[in-house]
């Protein structure tokens, strides 16, 4: 199944219990939910795995009720946020948390993650040299020196390539960049 | 006014323009257009730094759990209409589950045994009744069938 299928087409197939459609949906959104758990709610990487699985199981149970009135990602984000909050309430059961909605700092982080999702997708559309250097620098958090050694290029070239590639990324992301 | 190149502004925003940062800083003080662009690049940098790629097995495990649900739904559909399959599920639930690619948990085995040995008349009822039974089975499954708002 093509990974370029739009969400609406995937959802239609997912509703028919198409396992391949679910694979594409899960691949597309796992890091999104994982990042929400880790960065917006400070959940550990081990527990974030559970949050991802719980979120997709809730999605599976709730998908027949999805009306398509808003964006699918917004809907999925609400499911993920609910799972994160439920997880935190469960983890802090000795000291109950009242929160049922994200606090302002979490909300700000969620907005940054929305932008990250768009940029992450745009990175995939860059040419290979750019995709590699941007991924190494941002997602793998590798230093210039490590990137230079890995690619066999001078450190100065890493810096100039990164700058050039981020400019390309702005074009690739379009309105999602700002 | 001569503007720095966009590459130079991006490098500045990313903290890559060590040698030229003073020039850019001075330019930004008097150019709102470039200053706004640098802000956009800084916001993008923050978003990219925040992003975390999940290890590959996270997606694999999540997809595996969904697939188990899908197969269970298919099997339950068949059980409602196929008396012979229900009988076999009652006699040897592990075999029936395995034949449908479903991992046999103890709770699921017990539920299928009960379902498989139930009176046929129990399965000719209204849709609500079927769904209630179905839901009860799913409650034995990891993750349960919670609503979205739970």
Higher pLDDT, B47 or B130: B47
Nearest CA distance, A124 vs chain B (angstrom): 13
Comparison of pLDDT for B19 and B15, the residue scoring more:
B15
pTM comes to 0.83
Contacts of B52 in chain A (CB under 8 A): 31, 34-35, 38-39, 139
Q: In this complex, do B47 and A30 lie within 8 Å of one another by their Cβ atoms?
A: no
Residues A140-157 have pLDDT tens digits of 889 889 999 999 999 889
Q: pLDDT class for B86, splitting at 50, 70, 90?
A: confident
Tell me the per-residue pLDDT of B28-77, one tens digit each, with 9 for 90 and over: 999 999 999 999 999 999 999 999 999 999 999 999 999 999 998 888 88
Task: Check residue B144 and give its pLDDT.
Answer: 43
User: Over the stretch B89-119, which tens digit does the pLDDT of each residue have?
Assistant: 888 989 999 999 999 888 888 877 776 666 5
What pLDDT is recorded for position B142? 46
pLDDT in tens, A127-139: 999 999 999 999 8
Lowest-pLDDT choice from A14-18, B21-25, B75-79, B136-140:
B136-140
Task: Provide the pLDDT for residue B105.
Answer: 84
DSSP chain A: --TT--HHHHHHHHHTT-HHHHHHHHHHHHHHHHHIIIIIT---HHHHHHHHHHHHHHHHHHGGG---SS-HHHHHHHHHHHHHHHHHHHHTTTS-----S--HHHHHHHHHHHHHHHHHHHHHTS-HHHHHHHIIIIIS---HHHHHHHHTS-HHHHHHHHHHHHHHHHHHHGGGG-
Distance from CA of A139 to the nearest CA of B (A): 6
Which one is predicted more confidently, B138 or B86? B86
- Smallest CA–CA separation between B72 and chain A, in Å? 11
Pairwise pLDDT comparison (B110 vs A57), residue with the higher score: A57
Contact call for A58 and B146, based on CB within 8 A: yes
| Chain-chain contact of B62 with A61 (C-beta, under 8 angstroms) | no
Gap from B67 CA to chain A (nearest CA, Å): 6
pLDDT on residue A1: 65
* Residues A177, B58: C-beta atoms closer than 8 Å: no
pLDDT tens for each residue of A74-109? 999 999 999 999 999 888 766 555 556 788 999 999
Q: Which residue of B has its CA nearest to A34?
A: B54
pLDDT for the residue numbered A49: 97
Res. A174 pLDDT band, cuts 50 70 90: confident
Nearest by CB to residue B16, choosing from A56, A86, A162, is A162
| Cross-chain Cβ contact B66/A134 below 8 Å | no
Range of weakest confidence among A27-31, A172-176, B8-12: A172-176
pLDDT for the residue B139:
55
- What distance in Å separates the CA atoms of residue A130 and residue A123, rounded to the nearest whole number? 8
Model pLDDT for residues A30-46, shown as the tens digit of each residue: 999 999 999 999 999 99
Find where tokens 């391949």 sit.
Answer: A20
pLDDT at A123: 95
The ipTM assigned to this model is 0.87
Of all residues in chain A, the percent with pLDDT exceeding 90 is 72
Determine, for residues B66 and A109 on separate chains, whether the beta-carbon distance falls below 8 Å: no
pLDDT, position B146: 36
Interface residue B131 vs chain A (CB under 8 A): no
Task: Establish if B51 touches chain A: CB-CB under 8 angstroms.
Answer: yes
Tell me, yes or no, if B129 comes closer than 8 A to chain A by beta carbon: no
């Amino acid at each position: 199944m093509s990974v370029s299928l739009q969400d609406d087409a995937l959802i239609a197939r997912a509703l028919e219990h198409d396992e391949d459609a679910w694979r594409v949906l899960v691949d597309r959104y796992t890091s999104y939910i994982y990042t929400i758990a880790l960065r917006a709610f400070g959940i550990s990487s081990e527990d974030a795995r559970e949050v991802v699985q719980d979120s997709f199981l809730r999605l599976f149970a709730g998908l027949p009720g999805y009306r398509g009135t808003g964006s699918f990602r917004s809907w999925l984000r609400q499911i993920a946020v609910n799972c994160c909050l439920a997880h935190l309430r469960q983890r802090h059961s000795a000291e109950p948390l009242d929160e049922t909605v994200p606090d302002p700092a979490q909300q700000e982080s969620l907005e940054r993650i929305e932008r990250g999702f768009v940029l992450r997708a745009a990175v995939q559309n860059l040419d290979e040299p750019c995709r590699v250097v941007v991924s190494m620098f941002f997602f793998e958090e590798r230093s210039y020196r490590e990137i230079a050694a890995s690619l066999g290029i001078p450190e100065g070239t890493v810096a100039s390539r990164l700058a050039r590639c981020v400019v390309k990324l702005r074009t690739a992301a379009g309105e999602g960049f700002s | 006014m001569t503007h720095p190149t966009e590459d130079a502004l991006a490098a500045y925003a990313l903290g890559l323009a060590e040698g030229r940062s003073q020039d850019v800083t001075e330019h930004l003080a008097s150019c709102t257009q470039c200053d706004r662009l640098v802000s956009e690049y800084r916001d993008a940098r923050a978003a990219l730094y925040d992003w975390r790629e999940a290890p590959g097995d996270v997606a694999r495990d999540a997809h595996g759990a969904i697939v188990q649900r899908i197969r269970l739904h298919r099997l339950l559909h068949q059980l409602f209409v196929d008396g012979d399959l229900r009988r076999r599920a009652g006699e040897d639930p592990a075999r029936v589950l395995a034949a449908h690619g479903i991992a046999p948990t103890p709770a699921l085995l017990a539920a299928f045994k009960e379902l498989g040995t139930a009176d046929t008349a129990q399965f000719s009822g209204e849709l609500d009744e079927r769904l209630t039974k179905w839901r009860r089975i799913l409650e034995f499954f990891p993750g349960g069938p919670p609503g979205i708002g739970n």
